Amino acid sequence: MKDSLIKILGTLLFFSMICSCKSPKELLQKGAYDKVLSSLESKAKKGKLSASDKDLFVKSLNGYLNTGKKQLESRFISNEAKDWQEGVDLLNTYAGRQEKYLAYRQILDKDVTAIDVDKWYVAFGEKLFVHHLNKYEIHMADFDQSGDRAHVRKAYYEVENLMDYDDGTLNLDSMSSLCLDLGHREFYVQINNRSFERFNFSYFENDVNLRNTDWASFTNNSSAEYQLIISLEEVYKDEVVESERQRTYTDRVIVGYNTVADTTGTREEPIYEQVQATVREVRYAYRVDAVAQVWIFEGDDQRPIYDRIFRRNDQDVQEQNFFQSGDRRALPSNLPTDNFNPQNYNFDYLVRDVLRDLGEEVSFAVRRL
């Protein structure tokens, strides 16, 4: 009975799968052009399409590309630059598949109404070129008005966008160089220690890694326009009891032997005694918190233009057992007691790791200024 039921269910599942799998012709009628192309692509690539397969493939390819043209048109008539950029991305997708399919030897160019990739690229490029040029000019005007070099950096990235759609009317290399010249800042760097942590300060200092970039250079030249001060302010060390409890251990221990004689002979039987011991279990957390501060001052009058505090912390957790009372023989042999004095915990390794992390965080933030 059970086997018959399994066979019936298997048969139903088989016919269900057959019914759910539509033929390429049915997919074409439903406008599922991409699925038709995918189902026949292996044959097309090998040049083994039958006459009917080739007809389905060409019709699906034309339907697919016609859909692409409509999508490109909708993006092009938009007033939003993000839609134009999306149009370029779509164009790249359609152009790649169009080129691949037209390379199959059974697919003839004359049978396919292809997308004019060059025409569309020029059309989108003209709009995006004007858009990014306008944004470049706005950012440069903002810089002229405020003197804030952040506007120059934004203008530089607009020039990079313009290079994707260069029509040869502008000297984009010159515009890019101008942005880099105007936006570059030289920093006179001082790294100070205002904490009481002397021994491990070098870990923080050595992990403040300030590499020169297109936009910033770091120097010991005190005449630089900007002064960058990085200061280790505080290093806090703390010990806290996270949890504490009393635990009682019990065991049976042998305290002697009785001599027993019977018909089988004489033997020694152990004498057991129930013992117990109380242990105080303490979970300690050793914590380190470190604080650094970064300032940037500009010009001869040392105007403060940046002030930020950075914090990093970490902790180490250790457990300790303290024998309280009772018989030590009740304790497990692998249970250490009274072998560590929490007051003598060595914070150096924990401080080192925290200061290194703090130095890396400060470096990352400064490089992004």
Tell me how far CA of residue 161 lies from CA of 131, 151, 154, 179, 315, in angstroms: 10, 16, 11, 14, 46
Rounded Cα distance, 67 and 115, in Å? 10
* pLDDT in the model for residue 24: 82
Does the pTM exceed 0.85?
no
On whether the CB atoms of residues 158 and 136 are closer than 8 A, the answer is yes
- Which residues fall within 8 angstroms of residue 137, CB to CB, at 6 or more apart? none
Confidence of residue 19 (pLDDT cuts 50, 70, 90): very low
Average pLDDT, the chain: 90
Hey, what are 26's tokens? 């049915």
* pLDDT in the model for residue 17: 43
> Highest mean pLDDT range out of 14-23, 164-173, 217-226, 306-315?
306-315
* pLDDT in the model for residue 141: 97
* pLDDT in the model for residue 349: 94
Q: Could you read off the pLDDT of 273-313 as tens digits, one per residue?
A: 999 999 999 999 999 999 999 999 988 778 899 999 999 99
Q: Could you read off the pLDDT of 101-111 as tens digits, one per residue?
A: 999 999 999 99
Sign of CA dihedral 58, 60, 63, 64: negative
Confidence of residue 342 (pLDDT cuts 50, 70, 90): low
Residue 18 pLDDT exceeds 70: no
First to last CA, the chain: 76
Q: Give the mean model confidence (pLDDT) for residues 246-251.
A: 93
Share of the chain above pLDDT 70, in %: 93
Residue 238 pLDDT exceeds 90: yes
